Structure 1
Amino acid sequence: MKLKSFLLLILTVLSYNLFAYPISPMPLRKLIIESENIVYGEVLDIKENKKVKKHDWFKSEIVVLKIHDVLHGNIKPDQIIEIYTSSYISCPAPAYYEKGKLTLAFLYKEKNDDRYSTHSLSYGSKTLEKEEYSVYKKRILEMQDILKIKNEEEKHIQIVDWLVECALQKTTKWEGTYELSPESDFMSFYDRDKDIFVRKFELNDTQKGKLRNSFFSQKTLEYQDLGLIDLITKPNDKELLDFLITRFKETHKDFLFEGNFFMSKIADLSDRNDLKEISEKNEKLDMLSENYDQKTKDILNEFASKL
Structure 2
Amino acid sequence: MMVPCVLLLLGALAAVVAPRLLARADWPEREPVVALWVWQCVVAGVLLSFALSMTLSASAAWQAVRGRVFAPAPNGVVEAYALGVGGPWAAGTALLLACGAVWTAAMLTQEIRRTRARRKRRRTELLVRSPLLPGEQPGPERLVVLEGTRPDAWWLPGAAPRLVITTGALQRLKGRQLDAVLAHEQGHAAARHDWLLHCSAALATGFPQVPVFAAFRDEMHRLVELAADDVASRRFGRLTIALALVELNEDRGVFGPCPTPQAQVPQRVHRLLTATPRLTAGRRLRLTAAAALVPVVPLLVAFIPGLSALG
TM-score range, shorter chain: under 0.3
Which of the pair has more CA radius of gyration?
Answer: 2
Q: Report the TM-score when normalising by structure 1.
A: 0.26
Q: Report the TM-score when normalising by structure 2.
A: 0.25
Higher relative contact order (CA 8 A, sep 6+): 2
> Which structure carries more strand by proportion?
1
> Which structure carries more helix by proportion?
2
